[in-house]
Structure 1
Amino acid sequence: MTAPHGTPDSLSLSASTTDNPASTAHSRRALLALGVGSFAIGTGEFVIMGLLPDAARDLAITIPQAGHLISAYALGVVIGAPLLAVLGARLPRRNLLIALMAAFAIGNFSSAFAPSYASMLIARLLTGFPHGTYFGVAALVAAGLVPRERRGQAVGLVMLGLTVATLVGVPIAATVGTWLGWRAAFMIVGAIGALTAWLVWCWVPFFPADRKASPLRELTALRRKQVWLTLGIGAIGFGGMFAVFSYIKPAMLEVAQMPASAIPFVLALFGMGMVTGNLVGAKLADKALMPAIGGVLVWSALVIGAFTLTAPHAWLAAVNVLLIGTVVALGPALQIRLMDVAGDAQTLAAALNHSAFNMANALGAWLGGVSIAAGLGWTSTGWVGALLAVGGLIVFAWSALAMQRGGVTMPQAS
């Protein structure tokens, strides 16, 4: 099936979704199914952070060693996203989504029953493999379920599951893990993954695979300058948020002088900011894609840099954390941007977006740690984060200039 707007297969459902209310209802159910998957992945990725001491004690390792379980998952995302996107290029997208969520569910069940530290490391590594490809393929399917001018909002609804997971899923799973043992948390995540596979089977429309798709065609994305520049915006510009958030607990305790009991409230504010930013960013992407990306990067530099000034004041710092959470508005816009510049290599480019985000996580946390270790204090992460946002803005300007010099006009939503 040939897609409208010159985008192969990714937008092939759009026309049918506007014909009648029944089609619209079907599209909403499909988006809900995809969103449940992102909720499962978001919960599974972050829940271990609150259960590290329990996991360390049970596996007879130190807490720093248990922290490697987080790194193993992130490494799995970076490796698995391009690998599975290329290998799954010829599969119908609904089938690929089901396979990815089944693998994610199995990975979490394996994590729950891992008998040793080594087996747990392997389980977390492999569980991360479907992460990026799922989000990339789900974004392509979501964009195809709605008219072109609402692609950003459709992608935003899929990613909403990830942001809601930080606000609801992670606290609930962590609480259950505290009551019933840390392994129970992974059982819950695995069950949500299995539920997603079933919902996708029931609610996401089936369309045959693109007959022209192939691993080699997907790899052509790596020859496109604009794909690399867009990934660079995410890998650098998005890192600023993680530079601050990775060290938010000690900063709140030692600089803002907050009691430990207030930290869950601060984390909830961050989650609320992420939900708000995701929804607003998706609408901005539909209105004017490139200005939305540039504007969010400027906003990022301002609100992240402000943390250096607000951190000593508890209430100002809490509000600032909420605003920093809104930086996630960059996600839907970059996902749509990759769809526009990837040509025929849609699946790989879309999946690589989440590899870039995980690289941003690693880069931001590392540079924030470097500044703290250098004796610059907990608030120095604000300056580090602001500089990363500015770095992303520079890459964005490079991308826009290269596009202009090449005589390329990106389509904008009306």
Structure 2
Amino acid sequence: MNICVIGTGYVGLVTGVIFADLGNEVICVDKLEAKVEQLNRGEMPIYEPGLEELVQRNAEEGRLTFTTDLDGAVRKSEIIYICVGTPPREDGSTDMSQVEGAARGIAAAMDRYKVIVNKSTVPVGTGSFVREVIETNRRRNVDFDVVSNPEFLREGSAIQDALNPDRIVIGAPNQIVALKVLELYAPLERPMIITDVASAELIKYASNAFLAVKISFANSIANICEAVNADVIQVMKGVGQDRRIGPAFLNAGLGYGGSCFPKDSSSLLHTAQSVGYDFPILEATIKTNDEQPKRFIKKIEKELGGFKGKKIALLGLAFKANTDDMRDAKSLDVIAAVLAGDGEIVAFDPIAMENCKKIFPQITYAKSAFDAAEGADAAVVVTEWNEFKQINLEKLKAAMKGSHVFDGRNLYDPEKMRRAGFVYHGIGRTSK
């Protein structure tokens, strides 16, 4: 099929390259000329394992192209995917301006029947909103359908998730258009769920909000563990082996971040409030997540006797491993607190330092974890990169001036850390 993908962020770029790899002709559109030129040179605007190789191969074989020409791309395509940003507003609602802009562009260019697919994470009712925008602005009286096909990609494993999804959700106004979209995914041979548009839109928000609840619950248990001298790792292992619960998303730490969970939880809460429903579970989930990095920072500050004059080695910047995404990264909270307390930050991250420099150009960026730790009073781990999990503890200890390690991801065994000469502080684990 001929497919147009509007937007070349995480969702758009991964969606486009996967469809191209399945044998379709895909045109990816972005309004930023510099970004399109970058992609046409084979340079990726984001870091995602395996993405660059897939883009290069499909571009060389002629199945994947990048352009700023939305009109031309829409006219050439049978199916048009909207994969633009839907950032949160201050009140928790979703900014739909980019979706509206894409819909207006589609309306202006449509010359025959098209299937318009919302792939961006959008509130319930967006399908109707997009239909209304297109009907109001179309220049030709041609028919079209609007479908919801939410993405369930995890940054750092987006390619694998796209090729091996748990399920493919298609919300469509009728069976015929649903089968047309389903045909795109048939080669993957994965479970398909066909439903109405509104239900498909809500499935994405409900899924992410439920996972956010699990994370905040695990962190709440971690906070109790610290008070009663229990180990949250053992507690959650016992909880997760219950088949009704499962072990996923029960790792205690600094809370969820990134582009999805914070935004989607707030947006679902805003939707609930807009229809007059009180959602206390989700409110508590968001509050717990907001408080978690604050508790961690207070612990660091207390153990060090304040940040003034202290040098902190910050290991990890991205909100999670295998990505360069700094959106709602907990490292930003740590950096801000240390700087506000007249402390010094020396940071290292394998991928995300360039993005962090745009936010905090005034801190020092190291060439390695050991370089960051040189002369440090404490090491603070905020991202679960594999190279931090397997770090040479003797070398780390030799580089540091102090002995405190604050492990925001529970990467290390407390007893092993103590034997290595560290004063270890995890999340929900005893320091004694």
TM-score, normalised with respect to structure 2: 0.22
Judging by fraction of residues, say which structure has more helix: 1
Give the structure with the higher percent strand: 2
The higher relative CO (CA closer than 8 Å, separation ≥ 6) is in 1
Which entry has the higher C-alpha Rg, 1 or 2? Answer: 2
Q: TM-score, normalised by structure 1?
A: 0.22
